Structure 1
Amino acid sequence: MRDSDFESGFDPEPIAGDLLAWYDAHARDLPWRVSPAARAAGVRPDPYRVWLSEVMLQQTTVAAVRDYFHRFTMLWPDVGALAAAGDGAVMGEWAGLGYYARARNLLKCARFVTGELNGRFPDSHDALLRLPGVGPYTAAAIAAIAFDRPETVMDGNVERVMARLHDIETPLPTAKPELKARAAGHTPAERPGDYAQAVMDLGATICTPKSPACGICPLRDRCRSRAAGTAPGLPKKTPKKPKPTRRGIVYLARRGDGALLLERRPDKGLLGGMLGWPGSDWGEAPQDRPPFEADWTTLPGEVRHTFTHFHLILTVKTAPLPDAAAPTAGEVLSRDAFRPSDLPTVMRKAYDLWRGGAA
């Protein structure tokens, strides 16, 4: 960092004012957002929609979330409706968004808010932190956006804006406390919810990771990294270790009447609570553990999928499911009860490979 404290021209209020003026003119139209004009007219955000969108947006892009958000709010328009939904229905609608622990916590939180808080989300950061699955970032975002609390909302966009604005060269994640302190110093008492969204919009549309549009940035005259010519290289990041590759085997078996052998994974752990195909553990050299004795056929090709911390390669084996089979794992699901959309993405890839589609 080249400056040790806020210096002339970097006081918080002018930055907030410039950002809010830019946001009033250029705010993104998002299905979960109340526009700045509507908010000025007295419309208040629905905490349920703010919470739902923030959970969906964790580790996911706005473009990927839009359709999911529309479907969820059509099916479950308020927190009470979501709380009453079946686990399988919610997990099925979530399939494809990844990070399935978020979906499990979504239901836990909806049921807690409905059962313990009479369907009302708390309006303070500390109270929001007590909700299942709500961490510091989500609590700050809900408190600011839904309730206009002056909380500091830190996502990747905000980190990038602060790193460039102050020309902070300390790499992430080491720089996180420094970046949050800078962001907190800029958070205004007036319109903090709009301000939080303005900084995120700035990072998403102008102060982008590559080729930032510095010439039209509302903070261009105050940006230290623009003056120093260092903006495109910030924020710096500590190099990540390469992801390991794990392997596994899944077993697809269908009975003559179309019924399929599936299993529901344990609630805790990766893909917890989701339907999938019986299979081996995932590791360097998976052991062949079919769910029943049969002449299993290995399909040509393989399934490749990447999780947060590792790459996965699955071999798919198939066999007919005899009427009298007593599987050691899984449950038989009738053809009418099975929906491919209920499967997490990696299991659906295995199904597509079996069906002759692209893995």
Structure 2
Amino acid sequence: MSRDQYLSCYSIFYRVITQEKALSGRSRNFGWKAYYDINDIYKYLRNMSKTYPEWASTVVGGRSYEGREILGLRIDTPTKRGPGKPAIFIESGIHAREWITPATTTYFINQLLTSNDPNITALRDSFDWHIFPSVNPDGYHYSYYIDRMWRKTRSRSPNGCFGADPNRNWDHNWNTAGSTSNPCDYQTYAGSKPFSEVETRTLASYIAGVENLQGYLGFHADAQMLLVPYSDSKEHCDNYDDLIQVGKTSLDYGYRVNKEKYEGPGTAAELLYPASGGSMDWVRQALGTPLVYTYELRGYYFSWPPSRIYEQGDEVTQMILGLAVEAGRLGYFR
């Protein structure tokens, strides 16, 4: 890249970053034309639980290094309560700088709770939802106020360096691919051992306790692709063909919204790069959850204009609808 090209890219990136922090789109009552700090996101979740007390309740999925709750919203309408109702867990914001993921996840929550579309209300009523917009709240808060490109947690290593990559810290082939043992690495330090980070350790405990967990969806940015297990090799899990078929339908539903094409579905080792110690792979291997996906949303150097959050929110809503429709057709939720 030439100097002029670099300066041009940097200029565009700086402008997008500046737009992200603009206050003009902020709503007193929370909205999707601006990015909000973790405290605002948590206030939104609590408000929704108060507004829809028969449907929604806040749940704590764990704790952070700095003492924050990992707060989520459980949506479980009374229409189909009872044994056997399938549960779906949604994880967002595990990488702090990927702001579009908490934004689209709260957008999806809003769709589930307020939409009159019969397809969306059926989606809401068919599952026991456990939705966590930010599972790395310390990192997100630090990214929001201090270092926009911060990715990791905020734990402190003995040598004084901060943070580990919480998506390299799970106990699945830990630190064998796409990670480092250097605590001062800015991006992919895997931690001192599997589950060294309190965020991953306590979140894993919560996930393991979810009854009848049939689906696990992780949201990242910004590779614009759909990934399936396993991320650290080209080995395919036993229902790989079903995962690909369901994933293609999910992407087809999303494509109808904005005509944006995603790569995949496929494994990260095939489509992106090998990476071990990720949440998706642990959930699949340790818990045997049948439907496990990671959605890499759109963006530009982990940025996305706040005025266009709704675009990805609508895409994500339709992608999840498509996933549920096709998986149900294949008999996963009987």
> TM class by shorter-chain length?
under 0.3
TM-score scaled by length of structure 2: 0.23
Q: Which has the higher strand share?
A: 2
Work out which structure has the larger RCO, using CA pairs closer than 8 Å and 6 or more positions apart in sequence. 2
Whichever of the two has the greater Rg, that structure is 1
TM-score scaled by length of structure 1: 0.22
